[in-house]
Structure 1
């Protein structure tokens, strides 16, 4: 009897050890490397029944509803994975990961981060990300144009499998059609309109993602298009030759801005509030369909429409990445693959929640998904796919973002 009890105890110990080994396979540095060699079926089995925490910007209610009301329950049903959305600005996420990296904290609390641009460049440089992993994902292989430059590069930084594309957005202006029957067609007309309608236009601070994008459009126009900015990556010589035109334009419109340009909205949310209250007659954003949910919620007037300037509008791809010390790398991979599925991407495309463009190549979608996409009405405020496509401008090196942040205050704000 004692011998049988001893044998049974030994079996239990071995099973517990095996379970611990399986958990470690998902968590430790060595486990992360071993995970890359596993078949996808094994990864999904590891992820089954686990919890995934996604840290992401939480400033858009439509995006939050998409994650909470569509993604979370459908991910639970498809893979028995519990998704927890944690709202946090990306720079704070990277600060947290940097602190954990310095402290050699091998198991953190973040499984997925929403990231792109300079944040990705910094995260890659300081080795804050796990990977490469994107090529393991079936939906990446099946539905993404993996040869596309906006998938291979993120603001000029080579992706190298450290993040997976989640969506594509394009910068547009929103305006109240009842107050502006015909919006400006170019930057010269925009300048004239601002002067003719003092106080009815402004843009967010250069440190804000949207405000910086507006400034990059002015920079493109001052340089004569993005080509010169793309030729050699970050090029101080090009800036030296064209910076005066950029700053002169911004200084010229400043006295006619909201509150005489003495202060600027800190965030896009602040600018949207001014627009919704009628203090300004235009807002802007890095999502061609963002106005639809705001109109439906009664925040924006029903007469809101969108426009882009003849010089074009910047578009980019944003991504999902896994931190170096994610406690659930298998779960993160399965969740990211789910977020890249045709169903999830089509739900995101609908203006009910988010309304942004897909990361997938429409020509690679299954026939039923292609039909659904063709019949989808994104709303009256959204420009046609043809207009957006013909207006699309590429992003440039993320260092230009930093340059605008560093110089805008001295060259514009303090020159008043």
Structure 2
């Protein structure tokens, strides 16, 4: 991927000192300013269901408020953040990026650079539907959210397998790796820093460390030096048994999924398990595709909509984020044939009529409910772990 501006070299850039968002005392003022604005939402463009949801469902909903929503597809969230940093460095207060689908290390980097507008989410009426104490919404990979991004949906890292090829599946992550070694060429994972490849590293780190509880959430050089060598040793031992002998890796989740669709491998992985439903229904994935629930659990997190501090459509962006968090949109997005994403709303705290909308959602024949997927789940490590593990993998596994 060609990146024109380094995130790290711009980490000290400053956001505009003042913003019109600080003048909003009530939601009616936001709605008044938002009318006629165009909001550009920069988001990963490789998810066809996500693209269709934004274009066909979310955009018409915000149009009712006089806001035009335009989706800007990117291959990497860092592309969007780099654009923000470039414009901030140039002193632009009329930024061209109005919302970013973001979480994790990208959110942390933006926050350290004061690139996000903060303290605005409490003004959104839809925020009342969330649990203010939900740890997935108050902390993003160990970085306090502080009203600098609006929650959008929850995710659970998930492995899926072809039950026709694997009639007796493993039940732990170490069991998955042992299965791969017993069946050379039938397993692989995306190369970090791809998002899915990175989370796979963190899952293996937890496994070789004796469980997620043995990996401190906060990053330190000492913890990395103590725990990471076992990770790279395990993945180095695994490498010859991978697809193409570990000489090459899929670049991203889409390429991994294509290998699974082509029956070149028998296990795939995703942070968006909802997509499995349609991929099986349309014949892309094997009809026997089954979610693999692991005894040791998997990582869960939430993703958000971040609002750059120099956006020229701040009110419109707030309206989009509020609409996206509404019950109607969260229900629509949760439909298996729409996007199937797990809601960030506190369902138990909603009025009965709203709870009923979630209760009436159809079950997926492929993907179990969030309560099953998140069983024994563990939280994300601090964002600082991500680049450290990714860089170590390149040196300790790929290039060795």
TM-score, length-scaled by structure 1: 0.89
Which residue of structure 2 lines up, in the alignment, with residue 119 of structure 1?
106
Mapped contact 1:168–1:315 kept (Cα < 8 A): yes
Equivalent runs, 1:265-284 vs 2, <5 Å: 265-284=250-269
Matched, 1:70 2:52: no
* TM superposition shift of 1:35: 4.4
* TM superposition shift of 1:31: 6.8
Which residue of structure 2 lines up, in the alignment, with residue 54 of structure 1?
41
Which residue of structure 1 lines up, in the alignment, with residue 120 of structure 2?
133
Mapped contact 2:159–2:269 kept (Cα < 8 A): yes
Unaligned runs of 5+ in 2: 1-14
Matched, 1:250 2:235: yes
Name which one, 1 or 2, has greater alpha-carbon Rg: 1
- Three-state SS of the structure 2 residue aligned to 1:390 is coil
* TM superposition shift of 1:236: 2.4
Which residue of structure 1 lines up, in the alignment, with residue 194 of structure 2?
208
- Three-state SS of the structure 1 residue aligned to 2:300 is strand
What CA distance in whole angstroms lies between the structure 1 residues aligned with 2:340 and 2:358? 12
What CA distance in whole angstroms lies between the structure 2 residues aligned with 1:394 and 1:118? 15
Which residue of structure 1 lines up, in the alignment, with residue 283 of structure 2?
298
Which residue of structure 1 lines up, in the alignment, with residue 362 of structure 2?
377
Q: Deviations over 1:207-253 (max 9, x none)?
A: 1000010110000112222334336x102222322223212211121
- Three-state SS of the structure 2 residue aligned to 1:168 is strand
Which residue of structure 1 lines up, in the alignment, with residue 84 of structure 2?
97
Equivalent residue in structure 2 for 1:80, among 66, 77, 81: 66
Distance 1:129 1:34, change over 3 A: closer
Q: Deviations over 1:47-71 (max 9, x none)?
A: 1232211111111101111111111
What CA distance in whole angstroms lies between the structure 2 residues aligned with 1:203 and 1:400? 19
Q: Deviations over 1:258-295 (max 9, x none)?
A: 00000000111110111111111111000232201222
Distance 1:137 1:302, change over 3 A: same
Mapped contact 2:126–2:322 kept (Cα < 8 A): yes
Aligned residues: 385
Q: Deviations over 1:324-351 (max 9, x none)?
A: 1111101110110000000100111111
Equivalent runs, 1:8-407 vs 2, <5 Å: 32-33=19-20, 35-77=22-64, 79-88=65-74, 89-140=76-127, 142-230=128-216, 233-407=218-392
* TM superposition shift of 1:188: 3.1
Mapped contact 2:62–2:69 kept (Cα < 8 A): yes
* TM superposition shift of 1:312: 0.9
What CA distance in whole angstroms lies between the structure 2 residues aligned with 1:71 and 1:368? 21
What CA distance in whole angstroms lies between the structure 1 residues aligned with 2:363 and 2:93? 44
Distance 1:308 1:34, change over 3 A: closer
Distance 1:275 1:49, change over 3 A: same
* TM superposition shift of 1:145: 0.7
* TM superposition shift of 1:372: 2.3
TM-score, length-scaled by structure 2: 0.92
What CA distance in whole angstroms lies between the structure 1 residues aligned with 2:370 and 2:147? 29
What CA distance in whole angstroms lies between the structure 1 residues aligned with 2:163 and 2:268? 12
CA RMSD in angstroms comes to: 1.7
Mapped contact 1:226–1:396 kept (Cα < 8 A): no
What CA distance in whole angstroms lies between the structure 1 residues aligned with 2:23 and 2:263? 53
What CA distance in whole angstroms lies between the structure 1 residues aligned with 2:79 and 2:273? 27
